[in-house]
Structure 1
Amino acid sequence: MSKCKLFSMIDKAIFEYKLIEEGDKILVGASGGKDSTALIEYFAYRKKQNRDNFEFKALHIGTEISSQISPELLKMFETWNVDLEIIDIDVLGRLKENKKMNCWWCSTQRRTELNNYAIENGYNKIALGHHLDDILETLLMNALNKGEFSTMIPRLKYEKYPVTIIRPLCFADVDSIIEHAKNRNYISQTCTCNYQENSGRKKARSRLEQLTGGNALEKRRLFEALRNIKPEYLP
């Protein structure tokens, strides 16, 4: 496991937003996909370097409509000395009467389990695999659907709970992660349920590609624009 371009992007995010601090106990969401796998690989790499005094554990929340983590990926985690726990939940059984199943409901239930596990087991941070494209897609979704200028942020401290959400992949565009996953021979899993077609994120993804032409530099400039607001030139 060696230093690479993607890890440098994560290093930059961690430094700028102080995502890893002395004594942190971090719970990493493990979906089995390329994004969370890359994040887990980075944490294992950083831990091996003894650069910080922190602990981390990977947690996979399985559902009856999602794929299980593959044996190949489990072996990879073992090679990296990753402590992985798997919890299964019934998302369909939790669905309220007369409500339709969708991506938002499933992700909310899995996020709830992550939060509960973190609180019950003394983890002060939860690391999620949202990357640059995810953040910009959310920006477009909120702007076009809600009329508000907001998105997921690299570091979010919950007001009601003693947990902070961190997104170390915030500077990494999806193509960089795909390239990294190919170089590392990840066995990547994506959501294969029948409800993902209902997601408005696919439209936002298409709009982001139209806006930037898929250019990573333009995506990063769009992100930088969020950190360089000129209120005097806004209505």
Structure 2
Amino acid sequence: MKQILGAMRKAIKDFDMIQEGDKIVVGISGGKDSMALLYALSLYRRFSPVKYELTAVTLSMGFENFDVTPVRGFCEEIDVPYKVIETEIAKIVFDIRKESNPCALCAKMRRGALHDEVNNLGYNKIALGHHADDAIETMFLSMLYEGRVNTFKPVTHLTRKNIYSIRPLIYVKEQQITNAIEKHNIPVIKSPCPMDKNTKREEVKQLLNEIYKTVPMGRDRLLKAIKNKDNFCLWW
């Protein structure tokens, strides 16, 4: 966890993610990324130069057999309040709308529901578990399927609701998260979504893994490219 905390501390400082008195909702899917983020932020409170509050929130999508008991127990262990919001997002996406591209609508609805809950709680920020590999994958998805060079930002501001989304794991590699989950026995819930591991993002992840076999430093170079905005040489 030491590597994750070090990288997270740097990201928080570099992008001014957390200020004194912030009230932060941690969006918890139950997957390894969000659970590692929750644990890291709970530990960081102990030595952070600024004080902040944490609450963990899970959106129940309406899938059957989605048991959050392990997450609830973990939150009690690390002294973080936990709340589950019941939704019918799965029903809307798969049964009512019958979306051919369900992930886009699902993501939009989840963001909206989480933002509403942040406002309901009187909090001002939401922390998301996106990591460095997610940033690279998002950039490739954008280039391949949208024809533009783009990825998510470490901090974004939703002006309409005055909420900030922060991504404290932006410098953390996925393998570091996997290692921490195993080492610290952090509970993880398997996604009940039928699209899990069957998405364009998963295809891009596999493509990148093949690239990294040929170019071992490829991941680090791509991360450097994302951060080095002044040295882009494109047609403009």
TM-score, normalising length from structure 1?
0.89
What does 1:33-52 correspond to in 2, within 5 Å? 33-49=31-47, 51-52=49-50
Look up the match of 2:222: 222
Task: Please report how far the alpha carbon of residue 180 of structure 1 lies from its aligned counterpart in structure 2 after TM superposition.
Answer: 0.5
Look up the match of 2:57: 59
Structure 2: how far apart are the matches of 1:216 and 1:10? 24
Task: Please report how far the alpha carbon of residue 53 of structure 1 lies from its aligned counterpart in structure 2 after TM superposition.
Answer: 1.9
Give the RMSD, CA atoms, in angstroms. Answer: 2.3
Matched, 1:169 2:169: yes
Segment of structure 1 superposing worse, 115-124 or 88-97: 88-97
Matched, 1:116 2:116: yes
Runs (5+) with no aligned partner, structure 1:
none
Matched, 1:20 2:33: no
Equivalent residues, number: 233
Q: Which amino acid counterpart does residue 121 of structure 1 have in structure 2?
A: L
Question: Do the aligned residues in 2 keep the contact of 1:62 with 1:87 (CA within 8 Å)?
Answer: yes
Question: Do the aligned residues in 2 keep the contact of 1:66 with 1:193 (CA within 8 Å)?
Answer: no
Matched, 1:86 2:108: no
Task: Please report how far the alpha carbon of residue 223 of structure 1 lies from its aligned counterpart in structure 2 after TM superposition.
Answer: 1.5
Segment of structure 1 superposing worse, 3-12 or 217-226: 217-226
Structure 2: how far apart are the matches of 1:39 and 1:214? 31
Percent pairwise identity: 27
User: CA 1:63–1:214 in 2, change beyond 3 Å: closer, same or farther?
Assistant: farther
Look up the match of 1:4: 2
Q: Which amino acid counterpart does residue 220 of structure 1 have in structure 2?
A: D
Q: Which amino acid counterpart does residue 110 of structure 2 have in structure 1?
A: R
Task: Please report how far the alpha carbon of residue 174 of structure 1 lies from its aligned counterpart in structure 2 after TM superposition.
Answer: 0.6
TM-score, normalising length from structure 2?
0.89
Question: Do the aligned residues in 1 keep the contact of 2:127 with 2:167 (CA within 8 Å)?
Answer: yes
Question: Do the aligned residues in 2 keep the contact of 1:22 with 1:52 (CA within 8 Å)?
Answer: yes
Task: Please report how far the alpha carbon of residue 33 of structure 1 lies from its aligned counterpart in structure 2 after TM superposition.
Answer: 1.2
Structure 1: how far apart are the matches of 2:25 and 2:216? 29
User: CA 1:229–1:159 in 2, change beyond 3 Å: closer, same or farther?
Assistant: same
SS at the partner of 1:32?
coil
SS at the partner of 2:112?
helix
Q: Which amino acid counterpart does residue 195 of structure 2 have in structure 1?
A: Y
SS at the partner of 2:46?
helix
Runs (5+) with no aligned partner, structure 2:
none
